[in-house]
Amino acid sequence: MTTANAGAETTAVEQALTAFLVERTGVEPEPEQDLFATGAISSMFAMELVVFLEDTYDVEIVGPELSRDNFRSVRAMSAMVLRLRGAGEA
């Protein structure tokens, strides 16, 4: 994947996550905003995010990937999705 493609994919994932968060919470977060610290999401809502990400991006979020740090911001979730999708490429 080229740098330009990676950047475009990152932007697309971040936009989809932001749209989902706006739809579900009514708040539009900044990409690096700590969603737990601001109260925009809770641990329970993070599980909804797991389902959304798994269904939308055909990834499996299990074990250490369920770390709160991976869900702390839109940017962190995007990075996790791209990392998991890349892990499946040979």
Note the pLDDT of residue 13: 95
Distance CA 59, CA 49 (A): 12
Q: 22 vs 88, which has greater pLDDT? A: 22
Handedness of CA 64, 69, 70, 71 (dihedral sign): positive
**Residues 75 and 53 sit within 8 Å (Cβ to Cβ):** no
In tens, the pLDDT along 31-82 reads 999 999 999 888 889 899 999 999 999 999 999 999 999 999 999 999 999 9
Closest CA to 17 of 42, 62, 48: 48
Note the pLDDT of residue 3: 60
- Full-model pTM: 0.87
Note the pLDDT of residue 10: 87
